[in-house]
Amino acid sequence: MEHFVTILALMGMVVVVASLLSGALERSAVPVVAVFLALGLILGPWALGLIDIGFESPALRVLATLALMMVLFSDGVTLNLKELKPRRRLLTRVLGPGTLLPAAVIAVAAHYLLGVQAPAAAILGAALTSTDPVLLRNVLRSRALPDNARIALRMETGLNDIILLPIVVIAMLVWAPIQSAHGGAPQGVLHSVLGLLLLGPVLGVIVGWTGISALSWVRRRTGVRRDYESLYALGLAFAAYAAAESVGGSGFVAAFAAGIVIDAQDSELCDCFLEYGEATAEMFLLLTFVALGTTLIWKGLGIVDWRTLLFAAIALSARSVVLYPMLGGLGLPERDRRLIALLAPRGLSTLLLALLPVFAGIPGAESLFVVACLVVLISLAVHGGGITWFLRSHAPRVAPAPQAPADVEAPAVPAIPSGLTNVPVRLTLEELDGLRAAGERVVIGDSRKDDVYYTDGRKAEGAIRLDPFDPVLDARTAAVPREATIAVYCA
C-alpha cells in the first residue's frame, strides 16, 4: 500500500507541475528533464525527505518498465514509414555504423578505462549510445531545425533503442553466469535470445494486427469515440507487452512491433494516439525522472575521478566523431551534418537500458548504472545547454500585422449558426482575398501534422506555423494580434 501511495503521489505531482509549467518551459527553452530531476531532489531524502526511491523500490521497477515500454511503443507508432523510403541511405548510416561503431568505441573505453568485464562493457556501450527523445523534443519541433536534420534525428530517436536493446539483453545473458560464479546467483535474466528475436516481434505483430482488425470491424458497425481510440492504442501497447512477457518473450520488442503495425495499417489510430497517448507516455517518462532524481541519479557524482571523466568525454563524443564523416556523400548541407552529429543527448533511455541488468539481479550491475548516471548528468549540462542556446538563438520573431485602414469596411464572414458551438467558419480563397483587400488583419496558419509539415516542401506564402497541439503558444510567439482573422489550413 505504501508503494501504491508513493506512485499515486508522484503521478499527481508530475501531472500538476508539468501542466502548470508547460507554457513557461516552452518559452524559456529550459530542459524539462532538469526541472523534474530538481523536483525529485527536493522531494528526496536530501531535502524534504518525503520520498526515497532506491534500486529495490517496486515503484522504480514499475515506472521504469512502463517508461521504456511506452518509449518503444511511441517510437513505433510515430515512426512514419513513408519518411523512411526516400531516405534509406541516411537511415542506413545513422542506424548502422552510426549507432554500432560508437557503441563499440564506448564499450572498449569502458573495458580499459573502468576495468569492467567485456559483457558489462557492451551493456554500457549500448546504453550510452541511445539518443534521448525527451531532451530533443523541443528541438525537433523548432522551425529553425533544417528538415534533413529533423528527419534524421527523429529516425534515430525512434529506432536506435530497438537496435541497442538486443545488445543489452544478449550481453546480460553472457554476463549473468560469469557473475554468478563469483558471487550470488542472479534472480533471473529477463529474456532468452529466442524470446527476444522471435517471440517478442511475432506476438507484437499479432496483437497489433488483431487489435487493428477488431477496431476496424467495430468502426464499421457501431463507431468508436475518438478519445477512446487514444486509450485503445495504449491498451494494445500493454497487451503486446504482457503477451510476450507471459511466454518468455521480450515485452519491449513486442510493444515496438505493435506500434509499427499500427503505424503501417491505421493512420487514424496513430493520430488519436498523438492526441492523448503521447502525452501519457511523456508523463511516465517524467515520473521516472522524478523517481531517479530523489537519490539514484546523483550517485553518479560520487564516482568522479579522472578515469570516469575521461570515459564520459569519450562516451559523449564518440557518436559525433564517428557519425560526422559518415554523413558525407549524401548531399547534406554542412550545417545539417553538424547538427545531426552534435545533437545527441543522453538521458532517460540510457538510464532505462542500464537498469535492465539491475532489475535482473546481476551482481555488479548497479555500478554500471552509476557510471551511466554520471554521463547523463554531464550530457544534461552540455547538451541541454547547447539545446537551450539553439532554441533561444533561433526563436522566431514575427512583426505584428499592420493596422487596418479605418475607412474600409471588411466583407461579411459567414456566421456560426445560432445555438451551435465549436462550428468552424470556412473561408473560400475569394473571401480570404476580400478580407485582405478590405484591409482586415489576416494571418494564415499552417496546422498540418508534424510529419506532413516538415516533409512537404509546399507551404502557403506568408503562413506561420500553428502547431495543432499548442496553437496558442505559437500564436503568441509569432506575435499574432488578438483582433486578427486567422485562416487555418491543415491539409
CATH label of the domain that carries residue 413 = 3.40.250
DSSP labels, 395-447: ----PPPPPPPTT-PPPP-PPPPTT--SPPPP--HHHHHHHHHTT--EEEEE-
Band the pLDDT of 360: cuts 50, 70, 90.
confident
Record the cell numbers describing residue 411, joined without a space: 466583407
Q: How large a percentage of the chain has pLDDT more than 90?
A: 21
Q: Note whether 350 and 436 are same-domain residues.
A: no
Same domain (yes/no): 356, 275: yes
Burial class (CB in 10 A: 0-12, 13-18, 19+), 343: buried
pLDDT of residue 184: 44
Closest CA to 148 of 339, 289, 281, 404: 339
DSSP string, 131-195: PPTTTTHHHHH-TTS-HHHHHHHHHHHHHHHHHHHHHHHHHHHHHHHHHHHHSSPPS--S--HHI
Lowest mean pLDDT among 150-159, 189-198, 435-444: 189-198
**477 lies in the same domain as 331:** no
Question: Does residue 370 surpass a pLDDT of 50?
Answer: yes
Question: How many domains, the chain?
Answer: 2
**Amino acid occupying residue 459:** K
Cα distance between residue 123 and residue 103, in whole Å = 9
When pLDDT is averaged across residues 234-251 and rounded to a whole number, the result is 87
Q: How far apart are CA 218 and CA 78, in angstroms?
A: 24
Residues 300, 355, single domain; the answer is yes
> Same structural domain for residues 80 and 107?
yes
* Residues with Cβ within 8 Å of residue 398, at least 6 apart in sequence: 464, 477, 478, 479, 480
The predicted model gives 31-43 an average pLDDT of 82
Say whether both 363 and 439 belong to one domain.
no
The pLDDT value given to residue 127: 94
| 187-221 per-position pLDDT tens digit | 444 445 666 677 788 899 999 999 889 988 888 88
Domain-terminating residue out of 363, 393, 423: 393
Q: Do residues 371 and 415 both lie within one domain?
A: no
The closest alpha carbon to 200, from 249, 238, 257, 256, belongs to 249
Confidence of residue 268 (pLDDT cuts 50, 70, 90): low
> Do residue 346 and residue 440 come from a single domain?
no
- 248 or 361, which is more confident: 361
- 333 and 475 part of one domain: no
Q: Rg of the chain over CA atoms, in angstroms? A: 24
- pLDDT at res. 44: 83
Tracing cell 509569432 back to the chain, one arrives at 478
User: For residue 3, what pLDDT band results from cuts at 50, 70 and 90?
Assistant: low
Lowest mean pLDDT among 102-111, 150-159, 447-456: 447-456
How many angstroms from the chain centroid is the CA of residue 457?
A: 25
Residues 251 and 108 in one domain: yes
Q: What strands, in cross-sheet order, belong to the sheet with 485-489?
A: 464-465, 442-446, 485-489
Q: Name, in order, each residue with C-beta under 8 angstroms of 139's C-beta and a sequence gap of 6 or more.
A: 145, 153, 343, 387, 390, 391
6-15, 85-94, 376-385: range with highest mean pLDDT = 376-385
Residue 267's pLDDT is 65
3-state secondary structure of 454: coil
| CA–CA distances in Å: residue 223 to residues 229, 230, 423 | 10, 14, 22
Q: How far is CA 368 from CA 147, 303, 305, in A?
A: 36, 11, 15
Q: Any idea how long the chain is?
A: 491
How far apart are alpha carbons 72 and 158 in whole angstroms?
Answer: 8
Give the DSSP letter of residue 25: H
Give the pTM. 0.76
Could you tell me the residue range of the domain that residue 426 belongs to? 399-491
423 by Cβ neighbours in 10 Å (0-12 / 13-18 / 19+) ranks as exposed
For the ranges 268-272, 332-336, 459-463, the lowest mean pLDDT is seen at 268-272
CA 411 from centroid of its chain's CA atoms: 46
CA distance linking residue 343 with residue 131, whole number of Å: 9
Q: Please tell me whether residues 240 and 147 are part of one structural domain.
A: yes
The pLDDT of residue 294 is above 80: yes
Q: Is the pLDDT of residue 49 over 50?
A: yes
Whether residue 181 is predicted with pLDDT greater than 50 in this model: the reply is yes
CATH of the domain at 117: 1.20.1530.20
**CB burial class (10 A; 0-12, 13-18, 19+) of residue 238?**
middle
Same domain, 78 and 143: yes
Q: Is 50 helix (H, G, I), strand (E, B) or coil?
A: coil
Any idea which of 74-83, 173-182, 420-429 has the lowest mean pLDDT?
420-429
Q: Which of 370, 393, 416 is the last residue of a domain?
A: 393
Average of per-residue pLDDT across 155-165 = 86
Q: What is the pLDDT of residue 398?
A: 44
**Domain termination residue (choose one: 359, 393, 427):** 393
Q: Give pLDDT, residue 432.
A: 77
Lowest-pLDDT range, 25-39, 55-69, 128-142, 446-460?
446-460
8 Å CB contact between 84 and 159: no
